[in-house]
Each structure stands twice: as C-alpha cells, then as structure tokens.
Amino acid sequence: MLKEFKAFAMRGNVLDLAVGVVIGGAFGAIVKSLVDDVIMPPVGLLVGNVDFAQLFIVLKEGAAVHGPYLTVEAAKKAGAVTLNLGLFMNAIISFVIVAFSVFMLVKTLNKLQKDTPAEPAAPAPAMRDCPHCLSSIRAQASRCPHCTGEVSPIQP
C-alpha cells in the first residue's frame, strides 16, 4: 500500500496540483495585502477617512464590557457579536482580483495554445452504408459491425 501511495503521490498531476496550491496560497496572501494595505486605505480616505477593516456593526453587546467598541478585536474580546462589513468587503475585492487574474492567465494560455500549430488531422476514412441495416460503415469493411452482415469491400 505504501508503494502504491508513493506511485500516486509522485505522478505528475499530483505534483502539479501541489505546486499550484502552494503558489495559489502565496498569491492569495499577496492579493490580500494589496487589498488591505494598498487599495482600501486610499478608498477609505476618499469616503471620509474610513478604515474598512474596522467597519462593523455590533449585533449584541459583550457581557464583560459594554460598547462602544473602537475595533473589531476589542468587540470580540468583550464577547460582543459583530457583523464585520469591512472585512467582508475586503474579501470580495480580494476575490475579484484573484478571479480576474486567473481569468487573464487562462485567457493568455488559451491564446498561446491557439498560436501553436496543431498536428494536421488525419483524413476521415471513406464511409458507405451497409446494404443490410443501412448503418454507416467504413468503405473497406467486409462485415458490418452493427448487424454482422457480410458486405463486399470497396477497394480504393
């Protein structure tokens, strides 16, 4: 069983998937930093000096400390139940950036694949109808694969 697992794990597809997951995780961290540290601060300044990471609504006050809470962390520490709209908006923007990046990558790969000359397709074999069952068969066939009736082959 260990030998089979090793053979499975060392196949190309599994290794490609592992590399993709690692690179995807690193890319996700870069996009999260881009959204949290580069995109959202200027947007927050434009809409009235709002820190989107700290944009939340208190649904239920904490038992230990009553609000107002200045940060999401302070509210959570007090045991408050919060609706974290800013963090959700950051996640949506991150998703859109990742989805657009993947779309552009796939589009580029598809374009490169189309530019690569394909192997010329083999010509389709000459066909004819079986005189017994009228199924389409190859012209050189001596027996119909559908009804097994004998037919005289047509020579090219």
- What's the total number of domains in the chain? 2
pLDDT in tens, 21-43: 898 888 888 888 888 888 888 88
Q: 41 lies in a domain?
A: yes
85 in the same domain as 139: no
Alpha helical stretches, state H, 1-156 = 2-9, 12-33, 40-46, 72-77, 85-115
Instruction: Look at residue 154 and tell me whether its pLDDT is greater than 80.
Output: no
Predicted TM-score (pTM) of the model is 0.55
- Residue 53 per-residue DSSP state: G
- The Cα 133–Cα 66 span in angstroms is 85
65 in the same domain as 47: yes
pLDDT in tens, 89-147: 888 888 888 888 888 888 888 888 777 666 677 787 788 899 999 899 988 888 999 89
14 in the same domain as 60: yes
- Residue with more model confidence, 155 or 30: 30
- The Cα 156–Cα 139 span in angstroms is 8
Residue 58 belongs to domain spanning: 9-117
pLDDT (0 to 100) of residue 12: 65
